[in-house]
Every structure is written in C-alpha cells, then in structure tokens.
Structure 1
Amino acid sequence: MYGEPLFLQPVFKDRIWGGTKLKDVFGYDIPSHTTGECWGISAHPNGPSTILNGPLQGMTLDQAWQKHRGLFGGQSGEDFPLLIKILDAKTDLSVQVHPDDDYAQRVENEAFGKTECWYIIDCEEGAELVYGHHAKSRDEFQTLVNEGKWNELLRTVKIKPGDFVYVPNGTIHAIGAGTMILETQQSSDVTYRVYDYDRRDEHGNKRELHIKKSIEVAMIPHEDADFAPVKRQAGDLHIKKLIQEAYFTVYHWHINGTSHVMDNPLYMLVSVIDGEGEIETQNGVSSIKKGDHFIIPSTVKKFTLRGNATMIASKSN
C-alpha cells in the first residue's frame, strides 16, 4: 500500500502580465522575469507535474492517474479533474471568461470547462478585481463591447489578503495588478479574452480576443454565487471550508501545534502557502514548507500534521 504523500514538481508558465514574486515569495526557480503561473498540482497535458518522491518518483501526475487509480480511490473519469495554480499578476490580466463542460467538450475538444476559485495570498493596498458586469442582455453586452465602454460594462470589486473569490464558468473576470492568488480550478486551459487593454506583446502584436465565444458562454445578466464558509477545529488544526460546489471542495488549513486527522476522503490536494511543519503517515514523516504542493492519496487513511503552517487543501467532488 502506498502510504505517503505524493510531492510534486511545479510547472511554470511565462505570461505577459507575470513577474518575479513566485521566486521572491516562494523561492521557486522560475524561468523568466515574467513568470505568471506556477502549476503546482497538474495532470493537464499543457503542463503535468512530476512526482518527486517514493516508488512513483519521476512519473507525471497524469501517468499516475492512468496507471495507479487506486491512489485516487478508484475515482472514475479519463482525466484528472483538478488543477492547482499560484498566479503572480504583476500587471492586469485580460478580462476573460471560461465555458462550461458541454461547450468546452463540443467546441474545444477539452475534457472540462472551467469553474475556478481564488484565495488571495497577497495584494497591494487598494487592489481590485473585475468580477461580473452590468449588462442586462446579450445585445447590451455586445453594444458596450463594440463601443469600447469598458467602464460602463465591467464591474470591479476591492480585495484584501485572505479574501476568497468563487468564479463559476460564465463569470466575466480579471485579476488586477499587484495580486498573488492560489487558484483551484477544473483541469482546463480554455480561456476566452474579452478585453486586453490594447496591450501588445514583445513582437508588437495585440493578443487575440474571442468576443463571439465570450458572449456565447458568458453569464448574462451576472449573478453573484451564494456561499458561506464553515469553520471547525481538529486539535490544533483550524479548518475553514471555503466552498463546496459541484466540482470541488476547498479548505483553508492553519496548523499551529499538532493535529491527528482521521477522515481523509478519496484524496486531498494540498499547497503550503506559509510556514513549515511535517506530515506523518503510516510510512513515516515528511517535512513540508512554504511552496510545497502534494497529494495525500486515498491509501493514507489517517495522518498527523505538526508545525506552524497555512495551507489550501481541496478535493474533487
């Protein structure tokens, strides 16, 4: 029986809006000064993580999903369902929207649409997100886009560190400059850009927009999702269930001391966003530190956490 966490090597993505905070804050060895994304737990073909320890060392997560489904409780499905990222938005991301499963499969030949959520690790004072819009109909949306009336169309919200934002498919959104987030999402890489501030890349070209598809998949009119975090405590582990919805359940964990966890579900995805400590399973003790990403497989039925650390954990629903 495989009785230890699967620690993963992240994959990094250069982005026009990226910076160096993934190195400065988390100590990652990033490939460029415009590194925007750390794919910490990924089985997506555009950037699968590699297992760093144990008998499966060197295997990618998608390979483990295909060949060792018992580690994931025998969960069905051809594709690993979730993708965990850390994003460094040095400048504004494009205003964008993601499709649902049906549209992604039918139009893009992608396994999943993209519902996501964000935990705000850090942001500059006064930072904002684009979240939703003010159009009441698709015709009004199209007219405001055609006329470039972005201030009339787009809805902005203030954010601060520790905030949590749920972004179901169809939500018009954009992460603002000076923001670092941990993103839990369906394992999809389909993004439709609505507006990109007329930016140009290093070759002087504007990035492609996807207005027609954006309007087809957007939630119009916009409606905020209704959810409420739930808190509980297990020993010295403070658990806040941030959201439970169709695709995932996401938790904020803070350990300051020791906690014995007895109810591991199918499998848990864990990213350490601050501090350090250790996790003990039937196979021994592993150290954990800020910037680590690991999976607690279903073959680990109980484990002990020690230390002073903050983590975002999630499971597939």
Structure 2
Amino acid sequence: MFLISEYICVERIWGSDDLKKIFDCKTDRIVGEVWTLSGYPKYETYLFDADGRRVGRLDEMTEEVVGARMPRFPILMKIIKANSWLSIQVHPDDEYARKVENEPWGKNEMWYVLDAEEGAKLVNGVNLRTKEDFLKALSENELEGYLNFVEVKEGDLIDIRSGKVHTLGPGILILEIQQTSDLTYRIYDWGRGRELHIKKALDVLNFDDPLARVMKFQDDFENRYFRLRKLKGENFSHGFSILVPLMDSRVDGKEVGKYTNVVIPEGERARLSGEFIEIKLGDFYEIFF
C-alpha cells in the first residue's frame, strides 16, 4: 500500500519559471521551491491513496505513517531551482534549535542534483577559521572572496550538516531532503537588502569542520539523519519510506509521475518498477520508537 503527496509551490525572489514547467503551479509569481512532502506548520501537504482519494493531512498522520509519535513529521522534501544565487546561509543543530528557537530539531539536509547546467556552482564552506576573521570579511564587504565555490553535475549528492556555510547557485535543479525545520540564518544576500542573522549564524557556524561532503551518488548513502538508496528496475520498498521517482515509474502497478513523492507507511510494502530514490530515517530518530 502506498500514498501520494500533493505539492505546494513556494515563491522565492531568486526563483524562476522553470519549476512551473515541471509542476502545475497555479501562480503568476516566481517559484523557487516546490514542497513535495511537508508537515511544517502552514505548509502541510495532504496525502492521497492510489485512486486519488484524499486520506488526510500529513502532520495529522505522522504516527500512523512513521510508526512512532513525534513532535512533527520528521522529513521535509523539496525540489529547488534558482535563477540567481540564494543567500549565503547556515542552519543550527538540534540542541541550538531547542534551546534558542523552541523548535524540536535543527536543520540537517542533503541535496541531490537532478540537473545542472554546464559549469553551474554552489557554495560549500568559507575559507575563514575564526569568528573575528569572518566578521572582518563581512564588515569590509570581502566575504565573497573567501567563499568556496564548487562545480556540480547531475547525480552529485551534497551532505550538508548543520553549522556549514552553503548556498545554491543558478542553473541547478536539486532534490532537497531535510529535517522538518525552516531555521535558516542568512549571512550575506548579494546586496538584495533582506534581513541578515549574523549573531545567530556565528553562534552555530562550525569553523573546525566547514565543508559539506560532495560525492557522486551511486547506490546508497547514510548519515545520522537519513538513509538513501537508489533503486532501479524491479524492487520492493518496505515502510516507513519515502520514494522519489527519477523518471515516470510504477508503484504496485500504478503509474507515478517523475518527482512525485510516494509514501510507504510503516508496516506496508510496495512493488516498484522504474528508477527511484528511497529515503528512510537515520539513527537519530530511534529515540522515538
């Protein structure tokens, strides 16, 4: 048995019309993100059965779907495409999120590159090792010169732990897999004038281990928060799991479109045909079971 999630198109000033060519976004505004599975407050998605009947709202079905009671549905899924640079940013860890923001957890995330223009880049870390040097670079408007730019290609996986300075550049379509949190501390915004969060960013920035892991995603990968597998051909997936088809595929014989988020509830299984990324919970969440 499986469920299908609806999606929500989210306006961003750095977005483009590209996502509206992939998803049926009923808006004239610029879309930068499509939230394909979300239990985050005010952005909750609904789940539907294989015949298109609405089953319920994701945040209200967390225990039924995951098999454990949690403060929030644990994983937030997005598809992101930018037409210009996102802000230079950093996310807090779980402890800081609880103590300072009164949130259940911080924001660790992973990016899987679905498509990338030739020469497209992202920012992975900053070549500064102290708060004093970081503040000096900001005050002298020289931070751009210390950013670590990395070229990426389709199939790359970027493991972005909390505390790491990063951002996405134009020309890259990504699948974002993250903890269900919207805690983002903006450090630098390319002169666009939006609010910055320098104090909190410096509180959480990890100068000792500044770089995210960038790798070619082959078959599987796991960290403390997520377990990923790439599934091709005929397979089974056992719940709880989230599936993202990388091409038009089939689940239990039913057609599912590219990038549609499929949810296999705890205790269920589904037969797969096609190409998918399967996402499961990492060891961090074992405390809830």
Q: Which of 233, 248, 256 is equivalent to 1:276?
A: 248
- Alignment match, 1:180: 173
- Alignment match, 1:107: 100
How many residues were matched structurally?
A: 281
Classify the secondary structure of the residue corresponding to 2:248. Answer: strand
- Alignment match, 2:70: 77
Give 1:170 shift: 0.4
Q: Per-residue displacement from partner, 1:83-111 (whole Å, max 9, x unpaired)? A: 11000111110000000011112212222
Give 1:260 shift: 3.8
Code of the aligned partner of 1:207:
R
Give 1:246 shift: 1.1
Code of the aligned partner of 1:295:
V
- Counting only pairs closer than 5 Å after superposition, residues 90-129 of structure 1 correspond to structure 2 as 90-129=83-122
- Alignment match, 2:258: 290
Report if aligned partners of 1:16, 1:34 keep a CA contact under 8 Å in 2: yes
Code of the aligned partner of 2:85:
D
Q: Which of 184, 202, 214 is equivalent to 1:215?
A: 202
Report if aligned partners of 1:93, 1:175 keep a CA contact under 8 Å in 2: yes
Give 1:36 shift: 0.7
Code of the aligned partner of 1:215:
L
Q: Which of 115, 130, 144 is equivalent to 2:137?
A: 144
Answering whether residue 231 of structure 2 is matched by residue 253 of structure 1, we say: yes
TM-score (norm 1): 0.82
Code of the aligned partner of 2:165:
I
Give 1:229 shift: 7.1
Unaligned runs of 5+ in 1: 200-205, 232-239
Q: Which of 246, 271, 275 is equivalent to 1:304?
A: 271
TM-score (norm 2): 0.90
Answering whether residue 19 of structure 2 is matched by residue 22 of structure 1, we say: yes
Equivalent-residue separation in structure 1 for 2:84 and 2:214 (angstroms): 29
- Alignment match, 1:11: 8
Root-mean-square deviation (CA, aligned residues, Å) is: 2.1
Code of the aligned partner of 1:220:
F
- Alignment match, 1:62: 59
Code of the aligned partner of 1:286:
K
Of structures 1 and 2, the larger Rg is shown by 1
Classify the secondary structure of the residue corresponding to 1:62. Answer: helix
Equivalent-residue separation in structure 1 for 2:28 and 2:276 (angstroms): 26
Equivalent-residue separation in structure 2 for 1:214 and 1:228 (angstroms): 26
Equivalent-residue separation in structure 1 for 2:90 and 2:214 (angstroms): 21
Give 1:185 shift: 0.4
Cα distance 1:190–1:19, how it changes in 2: closer, same or farther (>3 A)? same
Equivalent-residue separation in structure 2 for 1:209 and 1:216 (angstroms): 14
Code of the aligned partner of 2:12:
R
Classify the secondary structure of the residue corresponding to 1:251. Answer: strand
Q: Per-residue displacement from partner, 1:17-63 (whole Å, max 9, x unpaired)? A: 11122122x24234234101111111111311111226972521001
Code of the aligned partner of 1:290:
K
Cα distance 1:123–1:229, how it changes in 2: closer, same or farther (>3 A)? closer
